[in-house]
Chain A
Amino acid sequence: MQPLLEMRSITKTFPGVKALDEVNLTVMPGEIHALVGENGAGKSTLMKVLSGVYPAGSYEGEIHYDGKLAQFRTIRESESVGIIIIHQELALIPLLSIAENLFLGNERAAAGIVDWHETFAQTERHLARVGLSEPPSRLVGKIGVGKQQLVEIAKALAKDVRLLILDEPTAALQENDSQKLLDLLLELKSHGVTSIIISHKLNEVRRVADRVTVLRDGTTVATMDARSEAISEERIIRDMVGRDMAHRYPERERNIGNVILEVKDWNVWHPEQTERQIIKSAGFTVRAGEIVGVAGLMGSGRTELAMSLFGRSYGRNISGSVTMDGRPVDVSDVRRAVAAGIAYVTEDRKELGLILEEPIARNITLANLEAISTGGILNKAEESQVAERYRQAMRIRTPGVFQKVVNLSGGNQQKVVLSKWLFADPRVLILDEPTRGIDVGAKFEIYNIMNELVAQGRGVVMISSEMPELLGMCDRIYVMNEGRIVGELSAAEASQERIMAHILRN
């Protein structure tokens, strides 16, 4: 049989990074093909190459679709031959009706005048196919995420889809909605629709997929046939994470003391979608002199956990207890959380961490202006001394502390954020992706700073998507998945395979 899609030796380079390196992917007509891999393995890039987001010519290799060489320059071109992607972030417009969304950019119209009768009639037919019983005039914002996902699929059907690509379709769904969606995929398959499903959930992959392709670091590791042999989860996990641990981490003398921070039964709901629980009964401890890692995939709730703890900066209906040194503390706003001895260093430096147009000195003192003022009057001389002290201690590379932060490199900006929170003198620092977007040399310096912090008897929580970094730095690692803490591993027992296994089996 001739494959529906054949991607041959696809190589895609961004400045300084090879995102895809000779990737091959073959999809047979009428199959459900699963694409798995870690964050950053290249799955999304590959799909963007396929759909024309990265136009023909911007990558090397060939795409053969339906037996012919395909060179898509826009999404419109790939959609015209029936290749349709449904992204994790749904692309629906909440204030338009289901029918309007279904035919957005594909309107049933003659000479620019919309034929509403035809629009509604066709919408009803497509909704019936995906098993959604909502009136076509309903606003999309008024229906749940699960149903929105079905509307997306109906929208694909309205465009005569032949190859449907779903990027983590069940990530935001409840269990029963996920099941319905997977059933629908099997149903569509029986009507001849071919699908590619990107997923982190191996049980789902096993349930619906005919074949599985594993990507790692921008290369194809393996394609396995799920019809002739049962896919071994261990095999997939090993293929996914099997990179070498060549990175180096500074040595540290471990000197771990008593429990400082303890969080129990922490529950958080989504700020807008009130029925969605984001953090489910999470609990953890941090000891003096300890670096605790939090592993998990994107969307597992790590940042939400940290931000909700830090003065309820995320979510609503937050419940649970927080103790410092055994005494309950109030963390109901940022001021109180800081006073209790907690600091949160955000993953999004530019949006949430820094005032880019202000000088380094003013950024460093911002969270603790009390310390450089008397009676509400700033002592600017003291401020510049403080800033100068941190500039030297943190080795912030700048001509002076009155330089605007926007002019610094990523690593130096991160050091400014760290300085800001160190100046607030916390007992426990929560570092959210502290080395994201930082070059290797600066990473090593950030690791050194972390080691110095715990040497001073503070506790550090490190949230990271880079597993080697967690394994290299942490004394203990918690694994989060779908808002729960699903595992706790000591440094000795932790390995990438074990962490992945915890994530994928829950």
Chain B
Amino acid sequence: MAHSTETAVAPAPKGIGAYLGSHLREYGMLLALLLIMIFFQIVTGGTLLKPVNITNLFLQNSYIIIMALGMLLVIVAGHIDLSVGSVAAFVGAVSAVLTLNVGLPIYLVMPICLVVGMVIGAAQGYWIAYWRIPSFIVTLAGMLVFRGLTLWLLGGQNVGPFPKSFQSLSTGFIPDLFGVGKPNVTAIALVAAASAALIWQALKARRRNAAYGIQQEPPAMFALRNAFVVGALLFVGIQLAYFRGLPNVLMVMSVLIVAYAFFTENTVVGRRIYAIGGNLKASRLSGINADRLTFLTFVNMGALAALAGMIVTARLNSATPKAGVGFELDVIAAVFIGGASMSGGVGKIVGVVVGAFIMGVMNNGMSIMGIGIDYQQVIKGLVLLAAVIFDVYNKSKQG
């Protein structure tokens, strides 16, 4: 047998080229995002990265990313949720009724709406987890049911406008605590702090991994990747600071991204969700309560769909029966472009965020260029297909 390999614990890094070659998938999408951004920056004559447009990019894509975080867990667990667009619309309608008809303040409306989302998620997850009804069917039913309920609740009308407090959920900005205004010093300070924390964490992890002999990326790659990420962060932060500062939504989204990244990679429950998606039977035989975890991923999805629904409603400043139509497809596309596997068990939060931004930047860039919605759809479809083909090709090449 191959006893020669026995002593080789962590092969020495062979340089950036070889490393990139073997980790093409992880960096490929980031590279694709970069290229897409450069492309649109040029063809839109620099409009793409103007402060006002960057702000728009976040506002337009925040709810897709927020839902994609939950969708990743659902897909990793081996399921799908087609109902998120309808659920977001329904919860938006509920928030409108509670705010405008009942007259509740936002600090009551928000938690009630989140609970409504969780109950909806639980109602669907129950059949999927405990009755083993395919999630495709249950959530297809949910998609129809909640679209119908939205229409019913709103009486087929747009309901709005909302008070300022509710709108600030989407269109509000973190005020400048230092009172300078433009540039927004708070924004710059927050972004700088986040960058510092990111580098500190990365260095800490690297030192710890080295101590345990865990294989890692070559130093040059590590530096390059972190420089890129921090550079992008600082650039975006400074650009935003020259417009109106950090949008509230961006803060919510960032906190959620960090929390879900931590959850998926560093918690027992997160690990188990990957396990049930990877091999359901083996997980059950390892003592994992797969049914309950599946149920909980749908409860979580419901809560995030509810949050997204409120943000969309606040952004449009009205609840409409047509809100969220087709969201589920954008969300699912973002997860798959981000590298999740249709059969479950594989996928990363970072990938999902990159995937969502690829879709988002393309939407935004093509709109600025004035490309018709017909071509936009075609191009987005082809990008989704290309990303997944790239994935499958990569996998077959690895053998």
A residues apposed to B, CB below 8 Å: 310-311, 313, 333-335, 337-338, 344, 346, 351-358, 362, 366-367, 369-370, 373, 376-378, 380-381, 384-385, 388, 395, 397-400, 402, 409, 420, 441
- Are A377 and B282 CB-contacts (below 8 A) given A355-B345, A399-B8? no
A residues within 8 A CB of B283?
Answer: 355, 366
With the chains together, A357 CA to B278 CA distance in Å?
7
Q: Taking the complex as formed, is B287 at the interface, i.e. its CB lies under 8 A from any CB of chain A?
A: yes
With the chains together, A135 CA to B212 CA distance in Å?
71
Contacting residue for B1 out of A310, A344, A441, CB 8 A: A441
Contacting residue for A352 out of B271, B281, B288, CB 8 A: B281
Q: Closest Cβ of chain B: how far from A136's Cβ, in Å?
A: 34
With the chains together, A346 CA to B214 CA distance in Å?
30
**Interchain residue pairs A-B with the least CB separation, the first 5:** A355-B278, A334-B287, A367-B286, A335-B287, A355-B279
Asked whether A400 lies within 8 Å of B9 as measured between CB atoms, the reply is yes
On chain B, which size bracket covers the interface?
A: 35 or more
Q: Taking the complex as formed, is B274 at the interface, i.e. its CB lies under 8 A from any CB of chain A?
A: yes
- Are A334 and B284 CB-contacts (below 8 A) given A397-B1, A399-B8? yes
Q: Which of B346-375 contact A (CB under 8 A)?
A: 346
Q: Taking the complex as formed, is B396 at the interface, i.e. its CB lies under 8 A from any CB of chain A?
A: no
A residues within 8 A CB of B2?
Answer: 397
- Are A397 and B6 CB-contacts (below 8 A) given A357-B278, A378-B271, A381-B208? yes
With the chains together, A362 CA to B281 CA distance in Å?
16
A residues within 8 A CB of B148?
Answer: none
Asked whether B208 lies within 8 Å of A358 as measured between CB atoms, the reply is no
With the chains together, A152 CA to B11 CA distance in Å?
59
Give the interface centre of A353, A369, A441 by most chain B CB atoms within 10 Å: A369
With the chains together, A388 CA to B268 CA distance in Å?
20
Q: Closest Cβ of chain B: how far from A330's Cβ, in Å?
A: 13
Asked whether A384 lies within 8 Å of B5 as measured between CB atoms, the reply is no
Q: Which of B302-358 contact A (CB under 8 A)?
A: 345-346
Q: In this complex, what residue of B is CB-closest to A378?
A: B266
Contacting residue for B285 out of A352, A380, A402, CB 8 A: A352
With the chains together, A399 CA to B214 CA distance in Å?
11
Asked whether A358 lies within 8 Å of B268 as measured between CB atoms, the reply is no
- Are A366 and B275 CB-contacts (below 8 A) given A352-B282, A378-B268? yes
Besides A352-B282, A395-B6, 11 other A-B contacts (C-beta < 8 A) = A334-B288, A337-B287, A344-B285, A351-B279, A353-B282, A356-B278, A358-B345, A366-B288, A385-B212, A388-B9, A399-B5
Asked whether B268 lies within 8 Å of A397 as measured between CB atoms, the reply is no
Asked whether A346 lies within 8 Å of B285 as measured between CB atoms, the reply is yes
Q: Taking the complex as formed, is B272 at the interface, i.e. its CB lies under 8 A from any CB of chain A?
A: yes
B residues within 8 A CB of A376?
Answer: 267-269
With the chains together, A346 CA to B279 CA distance in Å?
14
With the chains together, A357 CA to B339 CA distance in Å?
14
With the chains together, A127 CA to B281 CA distance in Å?
41
B residues within 8 A CB of A397?
Answer: 1-3, 5-6
With the chains together, A366 CA to B271 CA distance in Å?
8
Contacting residue for B346 out of A357, A381, A385, A409, CB 8 A: A357
Asked whether B211 lies within 8 Å of A353 as measured between CB atoms, the reply is no
Q: Taking the complex as formed, is B215 at the interface, i.e. its CB lies under 8 A from any CB of chain A?
A: yes
Q: Taking the complex as formed, is B177 at the interface, i.e. its CB lies under 8 A from any CB of chain A?
A: no
Q: Closest Cβ of chain A: how far from B23's Cβ, in Å?
A: 13
B residues within 8 A CB of A381?
Answer: 208-209, 211-212
Q: Which of B1-49 contact A (CB under 8 A)?
A: 1-3, 5-6, 8-11
B residues apposed to A, CB below 8 Å: 1-3, 5-6, 8-11, 208-209, 211-215, 266-269, 271-272, 274-275, 278-279, 281-289, 345-346
Q: Closest Cβ of chain B: how far from A319's Cβ, in Å?
A: 22
Q: Closest Cβ of chain A: how far from B283's Cβ, in Å?
A: 7
With the chains together, A409 CA to B281 CA distance in Å?
21
Asked whether B215 lies within 8 Å of A400 as measured between CB atoms, the reply is yes
Asked whether A398 lies within 8 Å of B5 as measured between CB atoms, the reply is yes
Contacting residue for B287 out of A338, A351, A358, A388, CB 8 A: A338
Contacting residue for B266 out of A355, A358, A377, A385, CB 8 A: A377
Q: Closest Cβ of chain B: how far from A362's Cβ, in Å?
A: 7
Q: Closest Cβ of chain B: how far from A253's Cβ, in Å?
A: 28
Give the interface centre of B1, B8, B215, B274 by most chain A CB atoms within 10 Å: B1
A residues within 8 A CB of B10?
Answer: 400
Asked whether B287 lies within 8 Å of A367 as measured between CB atoms, the reply is yes
B residues within 8 A CB of A400?
Answer: 8-11, 215
A residues within 8 A CB of B287?
Answer: 311, 333-335, 337-338, 367
B residues within 8 A CB of A373?
Answer: 267-268
A residues within 8 A CB of B267?
Answer: 373, 376-378
Q: Closest Cβ of chain B: how far from A358's Cβ, in Å?
A: 6
A residues within 8 A CB of B212?
Answer: 381, 384-385, 388
Contacting residue for B11 out of A352, A353, A356, A399, CB 8 A: A399
Q: Closest Cβ of chain A: how far from B335's Cβ, in Å?
A: 17
B residues within 8 A CB of A398?
Answer: 5
- Are A358 and B289 CB-contacts (below 8 A) given A366-B283, A377-B267, A398-B5? no
With the chains together, A402 CA to B279 CA distance in Å?
18
With the chains together, A409 CA to B2 CA distance in Å?
11
Contacting residue for A353 out of B8, B271, B278, B285, CB 8 A: B285
Asked whether B285 lies within 8 Å of A310 as measured between CB atoms, the reply is yes
Asked whether B214 lies within 8 Å of A384 as measured between CB atoms, the reply is yes
B residues within 8 A CB of A420?
Answer: 286
B residues within 8 A CB of A395?
Answer: 6
With the chains together, A441 CA to B345 CA distance in Å?
33
A residues within 8 A CB of B288?
Answer: 334, 366
Q: Closest Cβ of chain A: how far from B361's Cβ, in Å?
A: 30
B residues within 8 A CB of A366?
Answer: 271, 275, 283, 286, 288
Give the interface centre of B287, B288, B289 by most chain A CB atoms within 10 Å: B287
With the chains together, A91 CA to B271 CA distance in Å?
40
Q: Closest Cβ of chain A: how far from B67's Cβ, in Å?
A: 25
Asked whether A351 lies within 8 Å of B274 as measured between CB atoms, the reply is no
Q: Closest Cβ of chain B: how far from A279's Cβ, in Å?
A: 18
Q: In this complex, what residue of A is CB-closest to B286?
A: A367
A residues within 8 A CB of B268?
Answer: 369-370, 373, 376-378
Contacting residue for B282 out of A351, A369, A441, CB 8 A: A351
With the chains together, A334 CA to B9 CA distance in Å?
34
Give the interface centre of B6, B11, B289 by most chain A CB atoms within 10 Å: B6
B residues within 8 A CB of A346?
Answer: 285
Asked whether A362 lies within 8 Å of B271 as measured between CB atoms, the reply is yes
Asked whether A334 lies within 8 Å of B272 as measured between CB atoms, the reply is no
Q: Closest Cβ of chain B: how far from A441's Cβ, in Å?
A: 7
Q: In this complex, what residue of B is CB-closest to A411?
A: B1
With the chains together, A163 CA to B5 CA distance in Å?
55
With the chains together, A399 CA to B215 CA distance in Å?
10
With the chains together, A118 CA to B27 CA distance in Å?
66
Q: Closest Cβ of chain A: how far from B291's Cβ, in Å?
A: 11
Q: Closest Cβ of chain A: how far from B213's Cβ, in Å?
A: 8
Asked whether B282 lies within 8 Å of A354 as measured between CB atoms, the reply is yes
A residues within 8 A CB of B346?
Answer: 357
Contacting residue for A402 out of B211, B215, B275, B282, CB 8 A: B215
Q: In this complex, what residue of B is CB-closest to A311?
A: B287
7 contacts between A and B (CB under 8 A): A313-B284, A357-B345, A367-B287, A369-B272, A376-B268, A397-B2, A441-B1
B residues within 8 A CB of A334?
Answer: 284-288
